[in-house]
């Protein structure tokens, strides 16, 4: 299928030839030794002399099998040594070889099976190479032939095309023959394939095959409709033309022209189908119109030529180059075959000039279509690469602006909030040294304030690190549900009365962080707006859903400090945004007794809302 050799196929040609041409003499030697020995052993088995010769025959067959495994390893197939039954020294141990089926299989392989395979593969390789050399050098040695031996107009050009075709396909054909040899003999050799199975075959595809990230032209609804419309027009026109001009039965003309049009439609998605159907349709058209080749263009009617060019254009634009070159080569080979089988005496002028002219027109026009299609494909690929580059550039610009904005926010937080928190930490931590006559309760209160401010300052620094780095949030350390207990303990140190029921929950990091922030916001609101009130915190799982509830009662009426600490009013809004982003829900509001309740439900698993 790959008519143009690439660097991999040329590098592979040496090992393939070595496998084929070393196998033939080895097999001839094995057959020359093993078959007579086996025949003599069988003939003399009745005298017990043959029984003694059979172990020698089996041992030699195992030696040849071992050499075959070495050949396959050098070719690139990882195959281990076969497992034979253990033998003992002496005549008795040699006789035990007769009961080893593995050695008998080596004898069958080396004496019978391998011989026709090696003769076939080596002969086919040699004939293909000689045919290529003969075609390429026909202009030199063809002059030595008698003129009446082969008279075809432009025969030197035909020989050159045939030789070039054989030379281009030689690496692929040699590799197919080598693979055939390996596929047949490797299972019979008994070793286990320890490496990649037939690794040399991995190089059969061109080296520049597209990766998944490479932009590749894909058929769209508009392209399929356009191809189908053109194919339909060709079928509608070619059907009556073929039936009337070439005197073909209407049913046969319909089938052949429909197949030619369907090749382009199928080739848009399945290149192998388009290539095969196009070649079969072209051959069928030549056979169907052959009786009228004296009165109309043949072997390529105009409608068949147009259908072939449409298929070539589709293969060139939507698929790799080797598909369209294979289809073009198939058309050229069919033209060459038609020239060889046509009798010049049946033509009106007694020559094959009309057939030759028709073939040259086909090769030239279809070749131009191939070049135009490949150029269009390359233009589409370049345009796709440019669009990808623009997209990547725009994404990088967006990310750069995002990083600049994050850096600006980090600087603002550092200059304002972090500075203030540092001052609070220093003042609370040094209060016991600056202020005299402080009792133990006041000193403990200042130490709690200093600890809380240090914790807040640490969280602020972690936030600043996140804002200033290009790493994602998933790569940074974050709080989770396991840290809720510490959060409740730190809130109790302020004097708040908090009861907590905390179940152990295994939650994803994002869910754990969101739950932690919800509890943190609820406790902060309770401490700010209802100082002295009882607070109840519950974290549990119900039906694969994380359920968090934080309730606080009304503040004591006897508390003289009832003015709430003002807030920005953005805490609950941020909590709702976090929870809804995970597909959860938030309920908040006053309770009948004058308190406040916050209830959060977050699914632990499941798709996020679109």
pLDDT digit string (tens) for 487-516? 888 888 777 888 989 888 888 887 888 889
Least confident of 95-104, 268-277, 279-288, 361-370: 95-104
Per-residue pLDDT at 559 exceeds 60: no
Of 418, 410, 409, nearest in space to 457 by CA: 418
Q: Per-residue confidence at 204, pLDDT binned at 50, 70, 90?
A: very low
CB atoms within 10 A of CB 76: 20
Q: What are phi and psi of 374, to 5 degrees?
A: -65, -35
Per-residue pLDDT at 483 exceeds 60: yes
Sign of the C-alpha dihedral, residues 251, 256, 257, 262? positive
Helix axes 509-529, 484-492, angle to 10 degrees: 10
Residue 113, classified by CB atoms within 10 Å of its CB into exposed (0-12), middle (13-18) or buried (19+), is: middle
Q: DSSP H helical segments within 440-592, as ranges?
A: 440-468, 484-492, 509-529, 571-581
What pLDDT was estimated at residue 126? 93
**Virtual torsion, Cα 563, 567, 571, 573, nearest 10 deg:** 100
pLDDT digits (tens, 9 = 90+) for 210-242: 333 445 566 677 888 889 999 999 999 999 999
What pLDDT was estimated at residue 467? 65
According to DSSP, residue 300 is labeled S
Q: Is the peptide bond before 319 cis (omega within 30 degrees of 0)?
A: no
Q: Per-residue confidence at 203, pLDDT binned at 50, 70, 90?
A: very low
Domain ranges of the chain: 7-204, 221-394, 494-558+565-610
User: Largest Cα–Cα distance of the chain, in whole Å?
Assistant: 132
CATH of 494-558+565-610, one of 3.30.565.10, 3.40.640.10, 1.10.10.1800, 3.30.420.40: 3.30.565.10
What pLDDT was estimated at residue 452? 78
Question: What does the mean pLDDT of the chain come to?
Answer: 79
CB atoms within 10 A of CB 326: 19
Whether this model's pTM surpasses 0.75 = no
Mean pLDDT across the stretch 566-571?
53
Run of H or E including 341 = helix 321-341
Residue 337 Cα to chain centre, angstroms: 40
**Which residues lie below 8 Å from residue 603, measured CB to CB, with a gap of 6+?**
544, 545, 546, 582, 583, 584
Per-residue pLDDT at 190 exceeds 80: no
**Which residues lie below 8 Å from residue 443, measured CB to CB, with a gap of 6+?**
431, 432
Q: What is the Cα–Cα distance from 298 to 355, expressed in whole angstroms?
A: 6
pLDDT digits (tens, 9 = 90+) for 51-70: 677 788 888 888 998 999 89
The residue that leads in pLDDT, 329 or 206, is: 329
What pLDDT was estimated at residue 88? 67
Per-residue pLDDT at 21 exceeds 60: yes
Report the residue count for the chain.
610
Per-residue pLDDT at 568 exceeds 50: no
End-to-end CA distance of the chain: 46
Highest average pLDDT, of 75-89, 179-193, 226-240, 545-559, comes from 226-240
Of 192, 201, 203, nearest in space to 78 by CA: 192
Strand pairing report for 497-502 and 534-541: parallel
Per-residue pLDDT at 194 exceeds 70: no
Q: What is the Cα–Cα distance from 220 to 380, expressed in whole angstroms?
A: 14
**Virtual torsion, Cα 263, 269, 275, 277, nearest 10 deg:** -40
Q: Per-residue confidence at 192, pLDDT binned at 50, 70, 90?
A: low
CB atoms within 10 A of CB 239: 20
Least confident of 270-279, 292-301, 427-436: 427-436
Mean pLDDT across the stretch 280-290?
89
**Virtual torsion, Cα 310, 311, 315, 321, nearest 10 deg:** -90
Quick one: what percent of the chain has pLDDT higher than 70? 80
What pLDDT was estimated at residue 2? 43
């Amino acid at each position: 299928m790959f008519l143009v050799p690439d660097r991999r196929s040329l590098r592979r040609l040496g090992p393939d030839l070595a496998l084929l041409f070393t196998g033939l003499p080895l097999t001839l030697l094995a057959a020359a030794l093993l078959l007579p020995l086996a025949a003599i052993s069988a003939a003399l088995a009745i005298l017990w002399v043959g029984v003694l010769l059979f172990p020698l025959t089996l041992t030699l067959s195992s030696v040849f099998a071992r050499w075959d495994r070495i050949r396959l390893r050098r070719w690139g197939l990882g195959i281990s040594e076969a497992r034979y039954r253990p033998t003992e020294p002496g005549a008795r141990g040699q006789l035990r070889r007769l009961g080893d089926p593995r050695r008998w299989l080596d004898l069958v392989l080396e004496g019978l099976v391998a011989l026709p395979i090696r003769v076939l593969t080596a002969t086919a390789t040699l004939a293909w190479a000689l045919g290529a050399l003969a075609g390429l050098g026909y202009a030199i040695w063809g002059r030595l032939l008698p003129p009446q031996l082969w008279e075809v107009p432009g025969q030197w050009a035909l020989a050159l095309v045939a030789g070039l075709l054989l030379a281009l396909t030689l690496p692929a054909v040699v590799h197919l023959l080598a693979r055939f040899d390996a596929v047949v003999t490797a299972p019979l050799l008994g070793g286990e394939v320890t490496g990649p199975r037939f690794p040399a075959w991995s190089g059969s595809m061109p080296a520049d095959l597209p990766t998944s990230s490479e932009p590749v032209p894909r058929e769209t609804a508009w392209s399929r409709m356009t191809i189908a419309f053109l194919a339909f027009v060709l079928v509608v026109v070619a059907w009556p033309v073929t039936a009337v001009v070439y005197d073909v039965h209407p049913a046969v003309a319909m089938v052949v022209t429909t197949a030619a049009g369907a090749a382009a439609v199928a080739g848009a998605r399945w290149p192998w189908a388009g290539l095969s159907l196009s070649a079969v349709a072209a051959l069928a058209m030549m056979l169907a119109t052959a009786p009228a080749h004296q009165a109309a263009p043949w072997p390529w009617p105009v409608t068949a030529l147009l259908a072939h060019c449409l298929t070539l254009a589709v293969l060139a634009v939507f698929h790799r180059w080797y598909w369209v070159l294979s289809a073009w080569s198939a058309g050229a080979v069919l033209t060459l075959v038609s020239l060889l089988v046509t009798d010049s005496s049946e033509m009106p002028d007694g020559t094959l000039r009309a057939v030759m002219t028709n073939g040259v027109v086909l090769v030239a026009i279809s070749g131009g279509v191939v070049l135009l299609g490949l150029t269009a494909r390359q233009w589409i690929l370049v345009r796709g690469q440019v669009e990808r580059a623009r997209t990547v550039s725009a994404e990088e610009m967006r990310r750069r602006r995002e990083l600049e904005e994050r850096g600006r926010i980090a600087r603002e937080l550092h200059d304002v909030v972090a500075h203030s928190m540092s001052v609070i930490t220093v003042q609370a931590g040094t209060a016991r040294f600056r202020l005299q006559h402080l009792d133990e309760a006041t000193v403990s209160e200042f130490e709690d304030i200093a600890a809380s401010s240090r914790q807040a300052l640490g969280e602020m620094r972690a936030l600043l690190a996140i804002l200033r780095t290009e790493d994602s949030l998933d790569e940074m350390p974050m709080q989770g549900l396991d840290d809720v207990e510490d959060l409740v303990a730190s809130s109790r140190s302020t004097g708040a009365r908090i009861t907590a029921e905390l179940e152990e929950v295994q939650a994803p990091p994002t869910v754990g962080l969101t739950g932690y922030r919800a509890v943190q916001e609820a406790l902060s609101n309770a401490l700010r707006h209802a100082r002295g009130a009882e607070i109840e915190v519950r974290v549990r799982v119900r039906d694969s859903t994380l359920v968090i509830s934080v309730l606080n009662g009304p503040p004591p009426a006897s508390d003289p400090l009832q003015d709430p600490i003002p807030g920005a009013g953005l805490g609950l809004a941020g909590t709702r945004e976090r929870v809804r982003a995970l597909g959860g829900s938030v309920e908040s509001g006053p309770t009948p007794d004058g308190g406040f309740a916050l209830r959060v439900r977050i699914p632990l698993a499941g798709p996020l809302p679109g």
